[in-house]
Chain A
Amino acid sequence: MRVGVVTFPGSLDDHDARRAVRIAGGEPVTLWHGDDSLHDVDAVVLPGGFSYGDYLRAGAIARFAPVMSALVPAAKGGLPVLGICNGFQILCESHLLPGAMIQNDHRTFICRDQPLRVENATTAWTSDFMPGEEITIVLKNQDGQYVADEATLDELEGEGRVTFRYVVEQGGHNPNGSYRDIAGITNRRGNVVGLMPHPEHSVEAGYGPSLDGLKFFTSVLKSVVNA
């Protein structure tokens, strides 16, 4: 089971993503932003960090990287793709997922262990979770505020495509101002998932707040076997 992890100029978490794939039992494959081939991988992770300095807008230049010319049609054809943090931003800029990310409403960088609720446990990347399960993984970002117009938000909710929501105490605020507390979403087919928090940092005892991140990677390995 080959899971490609794309390295963009500025990617930080590509090594952790490859390590997570390996720990979950898959074979990680290094993909390069400047290469227009996906090398026959069975799934792809767009990792966190930065890309091309995030000039213009986060993910805006990465969208036009040669590797994306192969990835976008493959994702539309059903290839499982997970975008984490900057990878989520790239998926939005590529229009594989709706909406966009802007700066955190409080304008400060955030880095903390973040509880999330799994709202959709049927996607290629979340099938090992229970619906409604609460998990805790790392959240670290500057531009993490998910925004979209009301019609798009209603459509996402109506179609069950809000995949993760920030767990917010009654009367509290979510960590970055994201509309409707959205932390992650999926496409109609459920093969493309993007989220702000980082599952790849929570796959190993002794590192990160939990082992909850591992289920993203075990989910996709099963979805590929069952496909």
Chain B
Amino acid sequence: MGNVVVDVMLKSEILDPQGQAVAFALPRLGFHQFTDVRQGKRFVLTVEGEVTEEVLAAAREAAETMLSNPVIEDVVSVRAESPLDSSSAESQV
């Protein structure tokens, strides 16, 4: 079983109301060093077997046609999941 990770962000020129809400709330918790916050979306697409070039190509097409709206969003990356993405790695943080 393999996973493809797709990251989508609003284009930089588009206002991000959600990110702004987070940015305004951070100082209330004492975080004053962050001047801006942009919030994006991560999709994890699971396939049976290995993540092949064909799988990645299909994921790229899905990312461009459905997972993102090219009018307002950019597909930042489409890649096979690395060990760093897994939950076991998170526990090391």
Q: Which residues of A contact B (CB under 8 A)?
A: 56-57, 60, 64, 92-93, 98-100, 102-107, 145, 147-149, 177
Contact = CB atoms under 8 A, between A and B. Distances in A.
Contacts of A60: 66, 69
Given A102-B72, A147-B72, A56 B67 contact: yes
Contact of A148 (B17, B18, B71): B71
A177 to B, nearest CB: 7
B10 interface: yes
B76 interface: no
B21 interface: yes
A100 B20 contact: no
Contact of B17 (A56, A64, A93, A107): A107
A210 B17 CA distance: 32
Nearest to A63: B66
B14 interface: yes
A9 to B, nearest CB: 18
B17 A103 contact: yes
Contacts of A149: 71
7 contacts: A60-B66, A60-B69, A92-B71, A103-B17, A107-B18, A107-B20, A148-B71
Nearest to A143: B17
A82 B43 CA distance: 32
A174 to B, nearest CB: 13
A102 B66 contact: no
Nearest to B13: A149
Interface residues of B, number: 12
A98 B72 CA distance: 11
B15 interface: yes
Contacts of B15: 102, 105, 145, 177
A221 to B, nearest CB: 33
Contacts of A103: 17-18
B10, B21, B66, B67: residue with the most chain A Cβ atoms closer than 10 Å: B66
Contact of B14 (A64, A106, A107, A147): A147
A138 to B, nearest CB: 22
Interface in B1-59: 10, 14-15, 17-18, 20-21
Nearest to A98: B71
A103 B67 CA distance: 17
A100 B21 CA distance: 21
A216 B80 CA distance: 50
A92 B72 CA distance: 11
Contacts of B20: 107
- What 8 A-B pairs are tightest by C-beta distance, nearest first? A100-B71, A103-B17, A107-B17, A100-B72, A100-B69, A107-B21, A57-B69, A105-B15
Given A56-B66, A60-B66, A99 B71 contact: yes
B71 A104 contact: no
Contacts of A104: 17
B10 to A, nearest CB: 7
